Structure 1
């Protein structure tokens, strides 16, 4: 495991590293405590741990619609986390999806959640580094990536790998956090980083230059920061209430720990202060 992979596993599986137990076993126990059979779950029951990026399912719907995704398209979901977007694209769009993440615990949880929701036959997952993917050349029609590039220290290498994986004319679909115009340091921790060591934010211009250099042309790119901030403000209020009232179904705090409410507040404040912005876009491989 590379140093970067070790840092990311330590960040996203911090409770296990701190002695809080295996993430999969912890989540299964939490569902049992909430009165759910952990081997028979509904999309509604897993909503709190399904899609961990800003905007949740709505952001995934928006990105899929922007790209005009259709049935049968082969999609690689890079940085799939617990697999929520992979399941959504398979169930609602009819895509053939492979979810990939560098965090071992996330891949195990993604496989379990797909099996528990009856989606095991429509999704598959692998644990790998986005810069070194064990998949063949020109094997996918779409690379899908939501809130993962900001964890990757060498974006040009990753983009070159995506170019290799995509068929000619294939598309990159991004919903990504980028650095804003406010140069002040980020308020930390945030969901993707507790320290600067795992945060590799790029400015929008630098990211677009890297995409162009890797052979990708923009189809449609838009700034969706305002919508992301509104969503984060709403969920920050809800999470504060859940912290006091202890909502019965598992949520992100079971993954990130008690600091998750602080992470959410800091992300809200970073968005409001212009320290980060959110892009949604489609690029096409030449």
Structure 2
């Protein structure tokens, strides 16, 4: 792996698994303990019980359902979930839409947890997970009907190479379903940290026009594109209020704070403020391979 990619990989791993790098137990161990403390059997979990750590993007499961409907996903389709995190979208697509899903993420702790959660929720036959760089995935050509990507391109420094991989991996006429954070019209620096970056060098936001141009250059034709910033901001505002309130009495189900640590409240607040100030916007779209 080139030095630049190695450095980027290490930075992302440090960001997304910060508590473990600070000396805490591995993420999987922390989650098992948290589920037990909440009165759950970590060997048998429901999708509702894991929802808090399932989909680490704005809008949660509702945003994923909206994107799936926008892209007209159908039962039996083969989907590649790029930047899958803990695998929540992969499981949702398998459970609610009948898709066969391969999730790919560069953070090994996320892949380990994704595999475990799929097994514990009974969805391991329809989902599998791979720890790999999205710019060079060890998968055969033309193996997927759709590429799915939520809030992940902004962590990828070589977007053109990633889009080339998507084209290689899709069947002719395959779709790209994208739910992405892009740069807004306000050029002021982001308030950091945010959920995808602690430092400016970790954030690779593109403007909407730049993203559309790169997709077109890679051979993808736009079918539908929506700016969903207003709804994302309302969702983030609601969750920021909840995160800033007094903690509940007794242990609750695990949420993003268990993954990101105490700084998650600050991340959520900064994301809310960046959205409100027009520094970032949120897009949901579908493209088809020409």
Does 1:232 pair with 2:236? yes
What aligned pairs does 1:122-271 form with structure 2 within 5 A after superposition? 122-241=126-245, 243=247, 248-271=252-275
Which of 59, 79, 94 is 1:75 aligned to?
A: 79
Name the CA distance, whole Å, in 2 between partners of 1:230 and 1:222. Answer: 16
Which residue pairs with 1:89 in the alignment? 93
Distance 1:95 1:185, change over 3 A: same
Structure 2 equivalent of residue 50 of structure 1: 54
Name the counterpart of 1:282: 286
SS of 2:29's equivalent? helix
- What SS does the corresponding residue of 2:245 show, helix, strand or coil? helix
Give yes or no for contact 2:37–2:251 (8 Å, CA) kept in 1. Answer: no
Give, in whole Å, the separation in 1 of the partners of 2:35 and 2:282: 32
- The CA deviation at 1:241 is 2.3
Residues in 2 aligned to 1:7 and 1:78: alpha-carbon distance in whole angstroms: 18
Paired residues of 2:274 and 2:280 also in contact (CA < 8 A): yes
TM-score, reference length from structure 2: 0.97
Identify the residue that residue 62 of structure 1 maps to in structure 2. 66
The aligned residue for residue 9 of structure 1 is 13
The secondary structure found in structure 2 opposite 1:183 is coil
Relative to structure 2, which stretch is displaced further, 197-206 or 143-152? 197-206
CA offsets per residue over residues 146-170 of structure 1, 9 Å max, x none?
Answer: 0000000010010011010011100
CA distance in 2, matches of 1:242, 1:59: 27
For the aligned residues, what is the CA RMSD? 1.1
Deviation larger for 268-277 or 235-244: 235-244
Unaligned 5+ runs, structure 1: none
Query: Take 2:257 and 2:246, find their aligned partners in 1: how far apart are those partners?
Result: 10
TM-score normalised over the length of structure 1: 0.98
